[in-house]
A and B are shown apart, each in its own frame.
Chain A
């Protein structure tokens, strides 16, 4: 991981040729692309993994793999879809690794707790969403977040999730229905 980098590595690496020649874009283009997408991608990873620190690590890993990918991109949205696809796969792998070590108890808890701590006026609705999302599968959280928080199209979500649009639609419908029911139950509980 990036955090293991030492000064010895830096001096050793400085003696070597420029490695960025193998990257899919130059530094200037990358900077713009990163500024436009990093925050949204972090939010996505934080919501899907439910772990702020893991989202930090996966963000850097995602951008690194994106830069090293042997691909040519036709447009900004193509690049973005590819970035989210890498992030989705990494989050999936991280979850599998974590499952083998310890079961995931409440996905989204860490992000929401931090959010609640950081923002004194965290709304009751936000807390309800946190609880409801905790009942969904990571894949459902991912597609719902892309669709209804980021406003991504079905094609974009399908591309990020690595599935066909035809398969996505019923899955998205079921996930949305599940979340709506959970939110509805919470709202009814609040009223009662």
Chain B
């Protein structure tokens, strides 16, 4: 198996981060890095990245610590207010749902055409022929089997593909 770590890596990295690499390190370490692919990689990558550290840090226009603290406090208070208001909202929602339900029940009990429609639906459900439905479905599948399979595959595969694509780094 290809090695992924060299015992001298840490030493090389420390030398690069402390700006001692390559002039101010032991000649033996330099010679080792010249012959070790892993240490050479560490020196190259750490050299490039540590050189970019200060310019990147210098780009930061940071808000003052007091400002961050004050804003955090403000936001925490606002969230506390929202959290305190949440049970009231939930109770209001339940009350509204109850009122709508009550109105619906009153309407259902008093409206003659609604009752007639309900009876019609109930009659249709009672006369539902499962065998005929099954036969119709079998015929449909026999005639358009490929299409049905394709649709099922799309229904399952598309969300999976989207999930994999978005979840990938």
Docked complex: A49-63 residues within 8 A CB-CB of B: 52, 55-56, 59-60, 63
Report if A164 contacts B (CB, 8 A): no
Q: Are A173 and B5 in contact (CB under 8 A)?
A: yes
B72 partner residues in chain A, CB cutoff 8 A: 20, 23, 63-64, 67-68
Q: Given contacts A31-B66, A35-B65, are A20 and B73 in contact (CB under 8 A)?
A: yes
A64 partner residues in chain B, CB cutoff 8 A: 71-72, 75
Q: Are B76 and A46 in contact (CB under 8 A)?
A: no
Q: How many pairs of residues, A versus B, come closer than 8 Å at their CB atoms?
A: 147
A16 vs chain B, min Cβ distance (A)? 5
Q: How many residues of B contact A (CB 8 A)?
A: 43
Q: Are B65 and A13 in contact (CB under 8 A)?
A: no
Q: Given contacts A39-B60, A43-B53, A46-B60, are A148 and B80 in contact (CB under 8 A)?
A: no
By secondary structure, the A interface counts as: helix
Report if B49 contacts A (CB, 8 A): yes
Q: Given contacts A19-B73, A43-B56, A128-B48, are A9 and B78 in contact (CB under 8 A)?
A: yes
A60 partner residues in chain B, CB cutoff 8 A: 63, 68, 71
Q: Are A126 and B60 in contact (CB under 8 A)?
A: no
Task: Scan B64-104; emit 1 where CB is below 8 A from any A CB, else 0.
Answer: 01101101111111101100000000000000000000000
Q: Given contacts A129-B49, A144-B49, A148-B45, are A42 and B75 in contact (CB under 8 A)?
A: no
B14 partner residues in chain A, CB cutoff 8 A: 151
Q: Are A13 and B78 in contact (CB under 8 A)?
A: yes
Report if A188 contacts B (CB, 8 A): no
Report if A163 contacts B (CB, 8 A): no
Q: Given contacts A38-B62, A64-B72, are A148 and B5 in contact (CB under 8 A)?
A: no
Q: Are A115 and B73 in contact (CB under 8 A)?
A: no
A118 vs chain B, min Cβ distance (A)? 6
Q: How many residues of A contact B (CB 8 A)?
A: 68
Stretch from A70-78, A80-88, A176-184 at the B interface: A176-184
B16 partner residues in chain A, CB cutoff 8 A: 148
Determine the distance from Cα of A179 to Cα of B45 in the docked complex, in whole angstroms.
7
B67 vs chain A, min Cβ distance (A)? 9
Residues of chain A touching chain B, judged by Cβ–Cβ distance below 8 Å, are 2, 5, 9-10, 12-13, 16, 18-20, 22-23, 27, 30-31, 34-35, 38-40, 42-43, 46-47, 52, 55-56, 59-60, 63-64, 67-68, 96, 99-100, 111, 114-115, 118-119, 122-123, 125-126, 128-129, 132, 137-140, 144-145, 147-151, 169-170, 173, 176-177, 179-180, 183-184
